[in-house]
Chains A and B, each alone.
Chain A
C-alpha cells in the first residue's frame, strides 16, 4: 500500500462549481499537509499548508485535515477555468528536515 493515495481523475466540472479533492494516507506520523497546484509541464506551486487536524481557508480555497480518518481534502469554491491544473497533496512527518510524500495528483478541468 502506498503511503499517500489520490484519485488521478480526470475531474471535469462547470465553471462556478465547488470542487472537492481528496487524499488518504496510511502513515500516522504525518502531521504536515500541503496542497500543490501543477500546470502542465511546470513545477508544482504551494497552495495551502496545514498542520495537524482542522480547517484552513485562503480565499476560494479551503483545506481540511482529519487525522483520525487519515483523510485530507481541498475545496475550491466558485471554480474558474484558470483553476484547471493537476492538484497534488503532499505530507510530511516533521516540520524540518523531512522530504515530502506526494500523492499522484488529480487532474482538474473547469469548463466555461
Chain B
C-alpha cells in the first residue's frame, strides 16, 4: 500500500513553454501533498505544501506565479511550471500524507526529471 505515482517521469521542453506534472496517491487519500525540487547532489528543497481544496503555501523564494499548484482532489495534485527556463531544469518530487498522519508518514513519488532546452 501507500503508493504515490508521478507523471511524466521525464520531460524535455523548450524554453518559454509550460509543463504540468501530476502526482497521484493510488491507494489512500492524501489530505496534504508536498512538492520538492532536488538539484544534482543537493538535498530535497521544499517548494510548497498543498492541502486539498485550498491554496498552496509556498516556501520563501519560490515564485507562486511560476510554479502553479493545484490540489483538486484527495488523490491528485499538479505542479505546472510556467514559462520554463533552463534554470528550472531539476528533479521534481512530490510526497503525499494521509489525513492527520504523522510528519514522517510521507510517501514519495518516483520523481519527474525536467529538462528545459
A residues with a Cβ closer than 8 A to B are 4, 6, 8, 32, 34, 36, 41-46, 49, 88, 90, 92, 94-100, 102-105, 107
Contact = CB atoms under 8 A, between A and B. Distances in A.
Interface of B: 4, 6, 34, 41-46, 49, 91, 93, 95, 100-104, 106, 108-111, 113
Most buried by A among B45, B49, B93, B108: B108
Contact of A98 (B4, B100, B103, B111): B103
Given A88-B43, A99-B46, A104-B42, A43 B4 contact: yes
Given A102-B43, A104-B43, A43 B102 contact: no
A107 B110 CA distance: 18
Contacts of B49: 99
B106 to A, nearest CB: 7
B1 to A, nearest CB: 13
B93 A94 contact: no
B16 to A, nearest CB: 26
Contacts of B91: 41
Given A88-B43, A102-B43, 17 more contacts: A32-B104, A34-B104, A36-B108, A43-B4, A43-B6, A43-B108, A44-B108, A45-B108, A90-B104, A92-B103, A95-B102, A97-B103, A99-B103, A100-B46, A100-B104, A102-B44, A103-B43
